[in-house]
Amino acid sequence: MENQQLIPHLFRTEFAKITAVLCKFFGIEHIETAEDIAGETFLSALETWTYKGIPPNPAAWLYTVAKNKAKNHIARNKIFRGKIQSQLKNDFTNVETIEIDLSEKNITDSQLQMMFAICHPSIPAEAQIGLALRILCGFGIEEIANAFLSNKETVSKRLSRAKEKLKQENVIIAFPPKQEIYKRLHNVLITLYLLFNEGYYSESKDVVLREDLCQEAMRLTYLLADNEQTNLPPVNALLALMCLQASRFAARKNENGEPVLYYDQDESLWNRELITKGIYYLHKSSTGNTISKYHIEATIAYWHTIKEDSEEKWENILQMYNRLLQLEYSPVAALNRTFALSKVYGKERAIKEAEKLQLTGSQYYYALLGELYTGIDNNRARLNFDNAIHLAKTTADKEVLMKKIDLLNISQ
């Protein structure tokens, strides 16, 4: 792999590890310093490797340079050294004796502890996701802006405010006490869930970025599942949901980047290994007495990995949506429930339930009504598809809806 490919790849995988370890070492108030040192490390790699070639172990080279740069920063900056010395209660008279642990175990622990730190309830969910993308996933500001369909300036300000809030709250980068882990885990799981959804349902045209968002959310959730303290039922349920949803990633868009609806998907493109993993983690999540929304959504996702329609399938999905709405109401879940309702009790009943929702600002509301009215009242179906087109944000979505109208015209 040449420099042009290797350095961006390593930046994605190693920048976050170096940043997490240094931030834990320096403290949350020096988060920018940790990021700067990690960034300088990669600049050194770009300059050195271009002329001297790629070292035998690139990651080890990066870790060594990062350690040296961190020590140099401490040695040069007396004020910074004093703060760190006071914070860690260490004698930094001899900077060379400073040990910055970039072992695999400390990297994993640092990332897990950082997860709990940045998912602090004092900062909004959107900022938590942004910090997760930046610090835990190594995403650049421009990439984060693309993910949120925003601009670099807005994202930079949002992240700066979030970092400042963490400093004000004096958030410690450490595992919460054992009795508090389950409570604090709630925010962490919400952030990972939203991060995955940002990729899975993203309206960005960057397919690679969308997949990267999902993969990073899964990687971080695997870290939680592999840790004894955080290997808890809701973690396994969320990981099951991610695996089952991601299993259909390759089938959800055609070669032109257009969305492929569930019934039109090529089942041979579904990732059977991920489906098997999803079922494994779903079974693993079934211990204990508490059912989370992740348990319910993972069960719904499992039934969607069975392509054939059956009474059992849609009755189970409908039952799961009923439970989900009781546990945590959302308009999206209510809308999805009406489709399951149509499969069990017919379109007429589903239309009545759907129209009660009055989600007139959603393209998916009108698209669903278009589907439900098709074959019952094609004129109304056409009007609803037209409304959906006007609300659709991407060209690909509009083209799918226009094809629905074309089919209605052909059938007349």
285-333, pLDDT tens digit by residue?
999 888 999 999 999 999 999 999 999 999 999 999 999 999 999 999 9
Residues 27-70 pLDDT 10s: 888 899 999 999 999 999 999 998 898 999 999 999 999 999 99
Taking residues 142-165, report their average pLDDT.
89
261 band by pLDDT with thresholds 50, 70 and 90: confident
For 199-349, where are the E strands, in sequence order? Answer: none
pLDDT of 408 above 60: yes
Token readout for 116 is 């709990």
Percent of the chain with pLDDT over 70: 92
User: What CA–CA distance (Å, rounded) separates 223 from 220?
Assistant: 5
Exposed/middle/buried for 412, CB within 10 Å: 0-12, 13-18, 19+?
exposed
The pLDDT-based confidence of 140 (bands split at 50, 70, 90) is: confident
- pLDDT band for position 142 (cuts 50, 70, 90): confident
| Mean pLDDT value of segment 22-26 | 92
Going by C-alpha positions, the residue among 406, 262, 399, 268 that lies closest to residue 336 is 262
Rounded CA separation 183/128 (Å): 17
Whether residue 393 is predicted with pLDDT greater than 90 in this model: the reply is no
pLDDT tier for residue 349 given thresholds of 50, 70 and 90? very high
| Section 243-256 average pLDDT | 90
Average per-residue pLDDT for the chain: 89
pLDDT, residue 78, reads 66
Asked whether 353 and 338 are in contact (CB, 8 A), the reply is yes
Which residues are bridge partners to 259 per DSSP? 253
pLDDT of residue 182: 86
- Mind giving me the DSSP string for 137-204? T---HHHHHHHTT--HHHHHHHHHHHHHHHHHTT---SPPPHHHHHHHHHHHHHHHHHHHHHHHS---
Distance CA 36, CA 22 (A): 10
Residue 397 CB neighbour total at 10 angstroms: 19
Q: What is the pLDDT of residue 90?
A: 54
d(CA 20, CA 113): 9
